[in-house]
Amino acid sequence: MRDPVVPAAPAVDGAALQPPEAVRIGIVSISDRASSGVYEDKGLPALQDWLRSALINPIEFQPRLIPDERALIAQTLRELVDESGCHLVLTTGGTGPAIRDVTPEATMDVADRVMPGFGEQMRQISLRFVPTAILSRQVAVIRGRALIINLPGQPKAIAETLAGHEAASGIFAAVPYCIDLIGGPYLETRDAICAAFRPKTAQRPKRPG
């Protein structure tokens, strides 16, 4: 028996599509030494570069560079979500087992709901490269209508975690649909960098090119 013939998707006129929705993204680099000027912070530029390459949407960044202080981290996350109206907040740094690594605890302090799958997948991705990935304690949570995700501290690890590799899907592929579900803007990605996954019923026509 032959497989049924699936008709090709109709061509989409780019001019007929609505412009991509704007998104406000908080990016937080957490480091005692970088925040005090001992060395240059590389986390914020790495996050901005990757997000600009992956997203078609216009992005308004809300950057913060702060020390490893639990109360301050939690205060910053609350401010980015509750006052600045960020739809997505990405942190970098402070997720290991060292005494001053308190980013996961501060993130849990502001959580309405926990999204454990993100942390599980981040560790699976990193374990392909270094055995010490099991020491990482990244978490992801929802606060209001925003998704907050802890990322590693190194630019290379940030890109690997977000984009993934041949053996493991990156976490960012699931971010757009998660933000759909909590009432945020429709995020559109460049497939060459990161192909967002949505159920067919949640997909909008793709932009040509």
Summarised one tens digit per residue, pLDDT across range 62-109 is 999 999 999 999 999 999 999 999 999 999 999 999 999 999 999 999
pLDDT of residue 6 exceeding 50, the answer is no
Per-residue pLDDT band at 145 (split at 50, 70, 90):
very high
**How would DSSP label each residue in 115-141?**
-HHHHHHHHHHHHTT-GGGGG----EE
Give 207 or 30, the one with higher predicted confidence: 30
Mean pLDDT of the chain: 92
Looking at residue 168, its pLDDT comes to: 80
Tokens of 111: 């959580």
Per-residue pLDDT band at 199 (split at 50, 70, 90):
very high
Cα of 201 vs its chain's centroid, Å: 23
Summarised one tens digit per residue, pLDDT across range 20-68 is 999 999 999 999 988 988 889 999 999 999 999 999 999 999 999 999 9
Inter-CA distances, 82 with 46, 73, 99, 142, Å:
25, 14, 29, 12
Averaged pLDDT, 160-167: 88
Looking at residue 37, its pLDDT comes to: 87
Residue corresponding to tokens 């991705």 = 125
For the CA atoms of 81, 84, 87, 90, what is the dihedral angle to 10 degrees? -70
Residues 45, 20, 85, 177: is their CA dihedral positive or negative? negative
Specify the pTM: 0.91
Q: How far is the C-alpha of 46 from the C-alpha of 117, rounded, in Å? A: 23
